Structure 1
């Protein structure tokens, strides 16, 4: 009997709770029906369609600078976080346009607000959109601005570098004319003129090589090149300069493989690298060229016994016209473009160049280039790191560096 009464009481309590819940739901519905409707932001007709194909980062802001709508590019650039415009410079321009109703544009160098730190150069155009919104358009000009700066620097540097030998040749020609009756002076000045003309010719040739690198695709228009023959030609073209300083060029190791690309450009890169080693090495020393095959790459190391390069300057030696020691470079006759050409050639062939150097212990430049059809090679050959391979890559100059 007690169990029946308990069951009836539980049922009544459940029914009462259900009725209370239903009453609460109907009450909340009546209250909600009395609240004003909040419309989504309404853009002028056609604006959304235009913005979707405009190809720029865009942000739409309301009358209190809140971000109403923004595309993914604006977030990628770090212009917007959540519903807020990040940079105060942009917010100031937006408020100015809202106040006077006149379209404004400007260019800013902004700090990226995303995880990818760095500077962002954007061209911004701000305009009223309808009666209540402001439209901000942003175009990333970072790469364009940097390219223009590099081009301007390059033109300025080329002008300066060309002016030096041309001016020297003009002065030497005048000196020869004035000293026509002095055979010794004429011989001395003509020798100097010949040296300056060679320097001018080398500079012009390097500029042509850089232009060729930037206007061609070595991979698309290349062919399979036997790398050992390229290295042999690069060494042969530097023998005369090496003999003048009493420097021997020692080649160790073997690279019986092919590289896909432009043989002339590869030879130019290696010639410039060996030329650089000879020019910065003391007389009667050795420049070592080490060859090895490893992990599907041809590896070529060029080692000198020169003054070495400090850690701060190692990243900059591949820049155009950068010289660690300007006075010394002028004495050696370098153009300041050799290592830049090396870097561009390697990049165009899918390779890389690295540098090891310490002041007083010389420098080693190492080139790595992908080998053609490495599938046919044995894995042990691709990953060789034996004592004989190491010895072939070091050469006499390397052993001298180890002794020091």
Structure 2
């Protein structure tokens, strides 16, 4: 029997079998790709660019709360560690959004990083991103909370500082009334009353001055300022106090330096440094005021031969109401605001103020300001600021 017809049939059958196998392989490959996509999902199109452009914290999570994408802000804030959310509070918000489907916004106080030594305040927004992803956005509010804390402390300090002279004035007024028939006692109480009233007026003035320095337009009347004139006027303001304690005020250094700013504020800043040096210097000593300039920077250094500042307290001397020696400051009428005013004046002029000190050897406070180069002649009248 001739079986030649079986050959083409076998070929056709083999072709059909091969095609079926190829189709099965393609289908299996597609199912595998879908499975891989489920196991290792990718960030939705466009989300990468948005997250990268955020200055605040941005995080994209998959269905298992794995972090697929995190902005540099999220890493800097310590919200993400080891490809996962660091804080249970954030995880709870994400789970709630998955359950309810509604976006959430909430203020949180969180530790910064995995070790919890520092903390941050953030406003967190959590929302769905498509059907499988969740987007977490966090805005840093730490500075706002810090400023609010500073404001509260400032108000509390002001209340405390004003309470002493106000109470003294009240008691002295009562004592004056009771001693009306004793002339010597009246004179003694009246003198003390005058001292306390002066202290109260000085504290109030410095509080107002400090508030004004924090305004945005404090240098609205800025002009070129002659530093020699600033030094001369600051020294003149302190001459009586220095002579009372036998303290010599010696000024020198580079002459003819100029800066751009507010003459009155700069006089106040240098005056405060000189007054502070006199306050903490022993009688019959010396306070030096030196000026130098180099590389576009003017330096005004005020050096005393006083008790010095302990190393642990040097970083705090520019805080409001901080006193190295509280008893001495109160006896001499110090308010604890002088150096805080110096700091704000200098910062408003684009400079900084530094302190060097050694216990028992005195201190040097140095104001550094940008020098006014290639500017017209001085345009500020210092005499009007006394």
For the superposition of Structure 1 and Structure 2, which TM-score range results when normalised by the shorter chain? 0.7 to 0.9
**Equivalent position of 1:334 in the other structure:** 334
**Equivalent position of 1:4 in the other structure:** none
Q: How does 1:244-283 map to 2 (within 5 A)?
A: 244-283=244-283
Aligned-pair CA distance for 1:277: 0.7
Q: Is the 8 A contact 1:296 1:374 kept in 2?
A: no
Deviations 1:186-218 (A, max 9, x none): 111111111111111111111121112111445
What is the alpha-carbon distance in structure 1 between the residues aligned to residue 24 and residue 50 of structure 2?
45
Deviations 1:242-268 (A, max 9, x none): 122222211122331111001011000
- Give the TM-score normalised by structure 1: 0.76
Q: How does 1:313-324 map to 2 (within 5 A)?
A: 313-324=313-324
**Equivalent position of 1:109 in the other structure:** 110
- Give the TM-score normalised by structure 2: 0.80
Q: Is the 8 A contact 1:162 1:200 kept in 2?
A: yes
Q: Is the 8 A contact 2:79 2:112 kept in 1?
A: no
Q: Alpha carbons of 1:274 and 1:133: their partners in 2 closer, same or farther (altered >3 Å)?
A: same
Aligned-pair CA distance for 1:319: 0.6
Deviations 1:330-350 (A, max 9, x none): 111111010011111111112
What is the alpha-carbon distance in structure 2 between the residues aligned to residue 253 and residue 50 of structure 1?
56
**Equivalent position of 2:215 in the other structure:** 215
Q: Alpha carbons of 1:255 and 1:352: their partners in 2 closer, same or farther (altered >3 Å)?
A: farther
Aligned-pair CA distance for 1:65: 1.1
Q: Tell me if 1:77 matches 2:74.
A: no
**Equivalent position of 1:121 in the other structure:** 121
**Equivalent position of 2:91 in the other structure:** 91
1:291 is paired with a residue of what secondary structure? Answer: strand
* Residue 29 (structure 2) aligned to one of 18, 28, 32: 32
5+ residue gaps in structure 2? 1-21, 377-386
2:270 is paired with a residue of what secondary structure? Answer: helix
Aligned-pair CA distance for 1:69: 4.5
Aligned-pair CA distance for 1:323: 1.1
Q: Is the 8 A contact 2:51 2:59 kept in 1?
A: no
Aligned-pair CA distance for 1:287: 1.3
Q: Is the 8 A contact 1:112 1:120 kept in 2?
A: no
1:315 is paired with a residue of what secondary structure? Answer: helix
What is the alpha-carbon distance in structure 1 between the residues aligned to residue 139 and residue 101 of structure 2?
22
Root-mean-square deviation (CA, aligned residues, Å) is 3.4
5+ residue gaps in structure 1? 1-24, 377-404
What is the alpha-carbon distance in structure 2 between the residues aligned to residue 326 and residue 308 of structure 1?
14
